[in-house]
Amino acid sequence: MNIGILGLGLIGGSLGLDLRSQGHHVIGVSRRESTCQRAIALGCVDTASVDMTLLKATEVVFICTPLALIIPTFEELITHLPSTTVVTDVGSVKAPIVEALSPIWENFIGGHPMAGTTENGIEAAMRNLFFQKPYVLTPLATTPLEAITVVEKIVQQLGATLYYCSPQEHDSAVSSISHLPVMVSASLIAACLSENPNTLQLAQKLASSGFRDTSRVGGGNPELGVMMARYNRSCLLRSLLQYRHNLDEFINLIDLEDWATLEEKLQLNQQVRPKFID
Amino acid sequence: MNIGILGLGLIGGSLGLDLRSQGHHVIGVSRRESTCQRAIALGCVDTASVDMTLLKATEVVFICTPLALIIPTFEELITHLPSTTVVTDVGSVKAPIVEALSPIWENFIGGHPMAGTTENGIEAAMRNLFFQKPYVLTPLATTPLEAITVVEKIVQQLGATLYYCSPQEHDSAVSSISHLPVMVSASLIAACLSENPNTLQLAQKLASSGFRDTSRVGGGNPELGVMMARYNRSCLLRSLLQYRHNLDEFINLIDLEDWATLEEKLQLNQQVRPKFID
């Protein structure tokens, strides 16, 4: 199969490595010529170019650009494609993308592979990045079955665990377990920075694994944090207000010295957490 | 030196292993005979008993019981000790303990080794648990210099990194970087559980490393969480109110779509976090 990858970063590059190893012919497009050359040298693509017209001979195109570029890139891309080409994206928010793209391209299906590393860019591309990781597809009732099947087969070949849901269900779920933790964790770092200078200095020396883990995603890539908030704003605001309500309950229990109820809540947490992480 | 360890769990047992390897004679006391036998068998102590009078021949006693038992244990212990014996504890909150014990025992100095594993109990005891970990001592102006020096030397022999501060400074610092993260993380799990059943089910399937790390300490030992809140209540409430203020700032920026300020705050977080974890 001729498969196009538009955007040659960690996700696009890793996808190319796996697809080529399965015998597909992979055509890459990047905004930068130097990235095209690296992608070829690393074996991520068979050919690559800064020219999107190269993708006109593909049966499927994966859009793997940063979130903010998916819609404008797609609008340019489809001027070069036959209407039979199936297009999918890998953006971490689905409703705004699906709402914008579905009306203008029948054979579009939203996707989100939930895989990554701390590194970015084509140099970080690796084989089996998606193996046993969730990969969500968000077809609509109007999405042609053939388009779904084509993408589904490719995802299965990657060894990913496939989930289907609506774009809204996807965005609610990732809001609570992916985007909310970033803001919760970011607020923790900000709160510690608000301590008086002496306490802050001592706290920095005494901080250990509890602080390290709880603050990790809040001290991560700022652009990514803003992008999540921007594109999943309404879901994230709902998650944050729910979170503030739960936080207030904990504050209230401690204020009232209701240790029995506090212990019950912490016991429930200990019981349910494995359901999220196993 | 004859050193007593009262309370033979992870901390007491690990302390015993290190002290014996340095040639000290270690006498253990536990409430349970079976724990005494295991402590001897594991090499954590030279002798052990459920009888506190065994400690009367020691020069230093480490109280390594759970936080709630430190004060009552101490009150019983000192009826058996000569006034020259130096007593220290390993509790994770210092002001209430130091305030209770300093007036009744001149040679008392509060301590807090900031080391641990996910396992508890004598079976989890290990060598070098304290090596290169922070160990805080909280002497008062009235604490005899000889008492401080005796404990200081032992802590240095453990290879721990020694810090001195007041009990209140200790409690403020651990509130922000150790106790606050527990409640922040606990509220995250509680918020996810408040999702509607369909979203919750999908969220559990899609949760990955971001959720895993941010929820870790909030899904930990419930008794320990309650103990922190109970003994460090006023510091923790102050930390929680500061945290809620910072959380509200993030909510407000997202609500106002002020992406430039949000990015600035996340950039600051990314810059400062290494100061806590390096």
Distances (CA, A) of A122 to A8, A24, A129, B142: 6, 19, 13, 62
Q: Are A2 and A25 in contact (CB under 8 A)?
A: yes
Q: What pLDDT band is residue B11 in, cutting at 50, 70 and 90?
A: very high
Q: Are A268 and B218 in contact (CB under 8 A)?
A: no
Average pLDDT over residues B7-22: 97
B68 and chain A: CB distance < 8 Å anywhere?
no
Alpha helices in chain A (DSSP H): 10-21, 33-41, 70-77, 95-101, 145-157, 167-174, 180-193, 197-206, 209-215, 222-231, 233-255, 259-277
Contact state of B230 with A272 under an 8 Å Cβ cutoff? no
**Domains A2-165 and A169-277 fall in the same CATH topology:** no
3-class SS of residue A278: coil
> What does the pLDDT read at residue A119?
81
Question: Over chain B, what is the mean pLDDT?
Answer: 96
State the CB neighbour count (10 A cutoff) for residue B155. 20
Q: Of B58, B64, B119, nearest to B97 (Cα)?
A: B64
Residues with Cβ within 8 Å of A47's Cβ and at least 6 positions away in sequence, in order, are A27, A28, A40, A54
The CATH code of the domain at B170-277 is 1.10.3660.10
Surface of B (116-145) touching A: CB under 8 A: 133-134, 136
A202 and chain B: CB distance < 8 Å anywhere?
yes
> What does the pLDDT read at residue A140?
97
- Assess whether pLDDT exceeds 80 at residue B164: yes
Average pLDDT over residues B158-177: 97
Q: CA-to-CA distance for A44 and A13, rounded, in angstroms?
A: 5
Give residue limits of the domains in chain B: 2-165, 170-277
Phi and psi at residue B175, to the nearest 5°? -60, -50
Contact state of A205 with B114 under an 8 Å Cβ cutoff? no
Instruction: Report chain B residues whose CB lies below 8 A from the CB of A184.
Output: 184-185, 187-188, 214, 247
| Interface test with chain A among B166, B206, B224, by most A beta carbons within 10 Å | B206
CA B237 centroid distance within chain: 18
The per-residue DSSP string of A28-57 comes to: EE-S-HHHHHHHHHTTS-SEEES-GGGGGG
Residues with Cβ within 8 Å of A39's Cβ and at least 6 positions away in sequence, in order, are A8, A13, A16, A28, A30, A45, A48, A122, A125
> What does the pLDDT read at residue A118?
73
Residue with tokens 């496939």: A162
> What does the pLDDT read at residue A117?
76
- Assess whether pLDDT exceeds 90 at residue B146: yes
> What does the pLDDT read at residue B148?
97
pTM of the model as a whole? 0.92
B237 and chain A: CB distance < 8 Å anywhere?
yes
Which one of 1.10.3660.10, 3.30.410.10, 3.40.1350.10, 3.40.50.720 gives the CATH number of domain A169-277?
Answer: 1.10.3660.10
Give pLDDT tens digits for B204-234: 999 989 999 999 999 999 999 999 999 999 9
Radius of gyration of chain B (CA): 22
Radius of gyration of chain A (CA): 22
> What does the pLDDT read at residue B120?
85
Select from A165, A173, A219 the Cβ nearest to the Cβ of B269: A219
Phi and psi at residue A110, to the nearest 5°? -75, 145
Instruction: Report chain B residues whose CB lies below 8 A from the CB of A94.
Output: none
> What does the pLDDT read at residue B116?
79
Residues with Cβ within 8 Å of B154's Cβ and at least 6 positions away in sequence, in order, are B3, B19, B60
Q: Are B60 and B85 in contact (CB under 8 A)?
A: yes
ipTM: 0.92
> What does the pLDDT read at residue A130?
97
Average pLDDT over residues A38-42: 98
Select from B199, B257, B272 the Cβ nearest to the Cβ of A172: B199
Select from A212, A263, A273 the Cβ nearest to the Cβ of B189: A273
Average pLDDT over residues A43-57: 97
Cβ-count burial of A104 within 10 angstroms (0-12 exposed, 13-18 middle, 19+ buried)? exposed
Q: What pLDDT band is residue B278 in, cutting at 50, 70 and 90?
A: confident
Instruction: Report chain B residues whose CB lies below 8 A from the CB of A278.
Output: none
Shortest CA distance from A266: residue in chain B: B222
Give pLDDT tens digits for A159-185: 999 999 999 999 999 999 999 999 999
Q: What pLDDT band is residue A120 in, cutting at 50, 70 and 90?
A: confident
The CATH code of the domain at A2-165 is 3.40.50.720
B156 and chain A: CB distance < 8 Å anywhere?
no
- Assess whether pLDDT exceeds 80 at residue A70: yes
> What does the pLDDT read at residue A17?
98
Tell me which amino acid residue A96 is.
P
A238 and chain B: CB distance < 8 Å anywhere?
no
- Assess whether pLDDT exceeds 80 at residue A144: yes
